[in-house]
Chains A and B, each alone.
Chain A
């Protein structure tokens, strides 16, 4: 926290009466540690101004003192850090922050204090930070860049600080649907929403402000002969009576997407110190709208002149809004107005009426309608036509220097309202790639071709008059709804006047003294644009990148057009020839948290639980995420030192007694119909038609490019009924693959598939005592004997006295093993029954770690080997490929490159020093050869400590593969800087003859 900045306040500038604020509700807040107070209805900006705080930040590069420029979301200057601790948020626009009690804000980018900023010395080093400074700096010696310039620039330039802690708030995402989405609740938007509502359409009216009305609040006109806010309240009251109309204040529609989809962020709780219980901080909306109406209004643009960034210089419309809506005088003594158009005269008139002394109105035009000038002249303002401001001075504005009648004159004022005219807010019309078109008469870009379903109304469409906006809103909504088949009742338009909107194009005071800013946020001056021009960066996209014009949080809302106009003057081309920058989403910054919504932390993606999850939890399982599943990784027992001891025990139990493991996570697909076997023939590399009912077979699937996609066992339960298992990881992918085969490749096949992954709880019972264990739960007269139910047998039966079950004699571990399936709700009952049945044999639950060790001991390829780059041959499964049929991947798997005997193929590895550890990912290098890419012959895919063999074992993909059994190699792990000598061996480490699984 910095020392209080005593100078940065003054007596209250709150006007004695008026404004759309609630003076009965005072709100305390602090800025840079100083206690201040505002009222309900204030923004942070209006409250700061009311307290006389005109200096609110330091600029991005030059650390120039900056004040509040605007009263809306286009604000480039007044960026503050809001809140503290974990809720600290940088770069919030004070003009958009709704004041709440105990709000705390801090100015950014200043050191040691806002008032005395040491780095404002940067202003003296301005040439260093001029246009293209990043690029030029990179051309200096590289060694200096990293050590010197980058840290210097990082400290000197920049915006606010992000919070250091995890965001404590919730975010939500939601979808809404409507017939008409109205974007912006000014006169055009309100009129459109009302018209649509009365026709019975489903309407969403969204506005970024917390109070709806747009310019009706800031300009204080009359509608139907009464103050406009009364009309706004009446409209909102009527809208509230329609059940299918949703009014969304504090909601920015930030993006237009394909298919009539709009992105919006609702700031649900940002106007509170903390969200209310059960409320998110923000809600991200995906709005699906049949039609949309953009009524986003217009943004006033600055004039580029010397010192146009000094605190006290403000947009004329903003000064008008602070006076009318917030009852705040932006200056204490007197203001001058500098403009090229009529709207600034209306602003001056309002200020004067509300008691703010208007010292002078300076207009670049020689003639202005006397109806505008007369009231101000009568109020004592000097009318300086054909004149321009060339400089300002004072830390806070105190003097304005004017060039008038060929002479320089100074005016003592503490406020300067400027207006270079208005730019329709066409941003959203460009989000699908179209560009706005230049209109000479209005000196503005108007919407070009529009996103499908969108129309534009009001000031956003270049209709600046109030009456015109109301009429345009009603007419546009009527047209859009008629298009959708709604009968729109006609209604009289409210009475209103059109403000005069005369203007001559004027952008830059050539006679300016001192820095004249184009882009206040990025500290881009008119001189920077001249440099870009001189150095050849004239195309608008080059201009942007070279000068940073239009970048950062405001995306050049007040700067783009003036920058373009100045470049146009330099090149001698007109503005449309010079170009326009594209607008892309988001319209204004959106917190990343809002895009994540509720999907973060444990809810990042959905989690699946196995049928035995509760039982495993009771038994102290440690769980691991495998894809979406939470599976038991191992079951530690008291006294075990580490996971390895646990896993060794579990593996040994399976090898010597019996263990059980929930394998329900395997994908299970029911395949029925007359062509079921044909489907299998076409998706698996091996033969299926000959498989007997009551038997299962191991199958391998390829992708069409010949690489292995998945493997698993499929059992034949009836002549036209199979049940396929897939790996856990590929369950969804294989189902999609089968649907592709049936719907796209061979729609003539009659095979019917259904996922039964969730229907069955499936438990592997493995080990020499597996049969004896199962025998105790299988209902008579089912015969488990080796002859009646041999290896790879499959049957439907009952267990535990009538419980429907399926039994498969399959083995992943290489032991005598079965997989037994029961309906999922019975999984818990089954596992407890198996634990009881196996108790005499010491039945041991095992998890995915032991499962992994068992399969590596048996040399079974799994996820690490089925990596999308291996063929059946690579994995030693080539002999399974049937030569009698076609199947997906057959043709491509026979490409010469994939049959190359030197391709990396699956082998086993054992370390030569007994007790040495192997590391997965280690590269295999010939003994005596240097460790380099030329000698890299493969790598270890899977490693484990084998408790059965008492040493480490590994699987590897090694060039030349099995023909190198017996060779010695170096397994080099360059990440850990380790290496170990290994011997290539058969990948089946345990029971290579497969005798144990057939007993």
Chain B
């Protein structure tokens, strides 16, 4: 499998490590339901057949954490972007360099 790293270009999957679901957000630790929210965050995973957003770390290259959209049925990768962009956009802070 090859992953189109937005910094390095397409690279073999050997250069990356996969962490899994990229749609999860670390829960608010101060919320009253933090214990159950963290339980879900750490352990509960969907297993979709189809496009799936995943976190991949390009440890063999630019060391970016990427959010990769991969079809779990075909391994077709339709998008790969910096996870930092996604996160900071969501939180309204400025983009990464």
Q: Which residues of A contact B (CB under 8 A)?
A: 175, 257-261, 286, 288, 432-433, 452, 704-705, 732, 736, 739-740, 742-745, 747-748, 886, 890-892, 894-895
Contacts and interface: CB of A to CB of B under 8 A. Distances in A.
Contact of B2 (A288, A744, A745, A748): A288
B5 to A, nearest CB: 13
A432 B75 CA distance: 9
B74 A261 contact: no
B44 interface: no
Contacts of A890: 29
A891 B35 contact: yes
Interface residues of B, number: 37
Given A260-B2, A452-B76, A743 B38 contact: no
Interface of B: 1-3, 10, 12-13, 17, 19, 26-27, 29-30, 34-35, 38-39, 41-43, 55, 57, 59, 63-65, 74-77, 82-84, 87-88, 91, 93, 96
B57 A259 contact: no
Nearest to B66: A743
A892 B39 contact: yes
9 contacts: A258-B13, A258-B75, A261-B2, A433-B74, A704-B26, A704-B38, A743-B82, A743-B84, A886-B30
Contacts of A742: 84
A744 B83 contact: yes
B35 A732 contact: no
A892 B35 CA distance: 7
A259 B88 contact: no
Contacts of B35: 891, 894-895
Contacts of A891: 27, 29, 34-35, 38
A739 B57 contact: yes
A433 B73 CA distance: 10
Contact of B96 (A257, A433, A747): A747
B60 to A, nearest CB: 11
A744 B65 contact: yes
B29 A258 contact: no
A736 B57 contact: yes
Nearest to A885: B29
A743 B29 contact: no
Which 3 A-B residue pairs are closest in the complex by CB-CB distance?
A259-B2, A258-B1, A258-B75
A748 B91 contact: yes
B93 A258 contact: no
A886 B65 contact: no
Given A259-B75, A259-B77, A261-B2, A740 B65 contact: yes
Nearest to B76: A452
Q: Max chain B CB contacts within 10 Å: which of A260, A739, A744, A886? A: A744
Contacts of A704: 26, 38, 41-42
B59 A261 contact: no
A740 B84 contact: no
Contacts of B65: 739-740, 743-744
Nearest to A257: B1
A307 B46 CA distance: 56
B55 A744 contact: yes
B45 to A, nearest CB: 13
Contacts of A261: 1-2, 12
Given A261-B12, A747-B84, 17 more contacts: A175-B12, A259-B2, A259-B77, A261-B1, A432-B75, A739-B65, A743-B65, A743-B82, A744-B55, A744-B65, A744-B87, A745-B87, A747-B93, A892-B38, A892-B39, A894-B35, A895-B35
Nearest to A740: B65
A744 B57 CA distance: 10
Contacts of A886: 29-30
A890 B35 CA distance: 10
A894 B34 CA distance: 11
A171 B83 CA distance: 39
Contact of A747 (B12, B19, B77, B88): B88
B77 to A, nearest CB: 7
Contacts of A260: 2
Contacts of A175: 12
A96 to B, nearest CB: 30
Nearest to B1: A258
A740 B38 contact: no
B47 to A, nearest CB: 18
A286 B38 CA distance: 42
Nearest to A742: B84
Contacts of B13: 258-259
B87 A743 contact: yes
A452 B74 CA distance: 10
B1 A740 contact: no
Nearest to B57: A736
A650 to B, nearest CB: 36
Nearest to B43: A705
Nearest to A745: B26
A736 B1 contact: no
Given A747-B93, A747-B96, A258 B82 contact: no
B50 to A, nearest CB: 15
A736 B57 CA distance: 8
A285 to B, nearest CB: 13
Nearest to B65: A743
B88 to A, nearest CB: 4
B63 to A, nearest CB: 6
Contacts of B27: 891
Q: Max chain B CB contacts within 10 Å: which of A261, A432, A705, A739? A: A739
Nearest to A886: B29
Contacts of B17: 736
B1 A259 contact: yes
A320 to B, nearest CB: 41
Nearest to B95: A747
Contacts of B43: 705
B91 to A, nearest CB: 6
Contacts of B19: 740
B88 A748 contact: yes
A747 B39 CA distance: 23
Contacts of A745: 26, 87
Nearest to B14: A286
A964 to B, nearest CB: 30
Contacts of A432: 74-75
B96 to A, nearest CB: 7
A742 B63 CA distance: 12
A257 B63 CA distance: 25
Contacts of B88: 747-748
A739 to B, nearest CB: 6
A258 B83 CA distance: 23
Contact of B12 (A286, A433, A732, A743): A286
A740 B12 contact: no
Given A890-B29, A891-B29, A895-B35, A743 B75 contact: no
A744 B84 contact: yes
B35 to A, nearest CB: 6
